[in-house]
Amino acid sequence: MKQRKTWSKKRIVLFTIFVALLAGLVWLLWPPPDPLFHGKPESEWIKGIANGLSLSESENQEQRWRDFGPDGVLVLARALDRSDRPLERTYRRVYRRLSAVLPGFLVRLLPAPRPIVTAGPPSIVINLLSRLGRDAKPAAPAVARVLKSDDAGVRQIAISFFTSLENEDALLNQLPERQKRKLLPEFIRAVEDKGNNWGLRNNAALALRYYSEQRDVVAPVLVQALQDSSPWVRQCAAESLNRVAPDVIGRARVVPTVIGVLKDPNDQIAWRAASLLGEMRKEPALAVPALIESLENTNSLVASTAVQALLRFNEQAEIIIPALEKAAQRQDNAGGWAKSALKQLESEPPANPGVPK
């Protein structure tokens, strides 16, 4: 009898905890308020943000939200939280764990998690925020929360919000140090993602170039990314590594990796490889022959970029000049660049004769 009473008390306690948990979950999942903004519910404004409009319509829309100022940016930030709420992401994980340990009849009493939000409102809103540039800075915390999204495509676009300018003026470079540091684990997680979305890994590798102050953490991640199956990710990792830890380029075999990308048939990535070889100016014994070979590329952009990169290795003018003389016979922009480069090489002495060959 005593044992039965003890078991009844345990069941009561368990049931009480479950009810409290259920009430808390209902509260967490309760739809958020939809306040008015300029006379319309905020959700109506978000529905009005169209994707794939003509350039003029997109510019008009961008200007409208720019005119709204910080209040408009906060409306967009709240839209991100409503479309892919962090608490819902947490609940999906909790639900999966509870399903594994609770009896079936109790699991069925729990509200089913809402479906993962993919593309749609999060992507459209983030794209608009990216076009607003620095004016969108107040939305950075909301976009940062989206970095934890269950959808890789949404995470990819969220990363681009922080890096869209891809120069020193990128928003990521303008954030307070503490806020910037909190984002780093999400970027690393994205670079190491095992999914099929190479764009996510590419954008994350790009973001890591803004973490020179964290080079001891970032450099090993980028070195590993040099082995990625996508040439875009390998190239981006090499570019970022050249920025945050140029001293590891040799032992990380960055130059051979970039030469591999240079040979890629896609000219939109190959020309970037040619440019990076000139920028790094490392291992001329490998880089110069690869660039000379690229002078014969049928794509004018790749060949022209190879000409400009070869100028960075003018200590090897004796083997570069004959190749440029041949390239100067081309009837495109690359031929013009080659003629200009020949004049420069023939009129200037080697800038760094001591560079090893």
CA distance 89 to 316: 57
In a domain, 23, yes or no: no
- What digits encode the pLDDT tens for the residues 85-95? 656 667 667 77
Which CATH number fits the domain that encloses residue 209? 1.25.10.10
In a domain, 319, yes or no: yes
The range of the structural domain enclosing residue 274 comes to 262-357
Residues 64, 139, single domain; the answer is yes
In a domain, 144, yes or no: yes
Boundary (domain end) residue, out of 205, 229, 252 = 252
In a domain, 28, yes or no: no
pLDDT of res. 357: 42
- Tokens representing 270 are 């190959």
In a domain, 39, yes or no: no
Residues ≥6 apart with Cβ < 8 Å to 297: 267, 270, 303, 306
Q: What is the DSSP letter of 149?
A: -
Residues 73, 114, single domain; the answer is yes
Boundary (domain end) residue, out of 203, 232, 252 = 252
- What digits encode the pLDDT tens for the residues 257-293? 999 999 999 999 999 999 999 999 999 999 999 999 9
pLDDT of res. 18: 62
The structure's pTM equals: 0.79
In a domain, 11, yes or no: no
pLDDT of res. 356: 46
Boundary (domain end) residue, out of 230, 252, 274 = 252
Helix (H) or strand (E) holding 198: helix 198-207
Residues 145, 233, single domain; the answer is no
* Number of domains forming the structure of the chain: 3
In a domain, 48, yes or no: no
Phi, psi of 251 (to 5 degrees): -70, -20
pLDDT at 315 over 80: yes
Residues 67, 156, single domain; the answer is yes
CA distance 282 to 249: 8
Residues 192, 169, single domain; the answer is no
Residues 162, 195, single domain; the answer is no
Residues 132, 197, single domain; the answer is no
pLDDT at 341 over 60: yes
- pLDDT averaged over every residue in the chain: 85
CA distance 110 to 101: 13
Residues 68, 154, single domain; the answer is yes
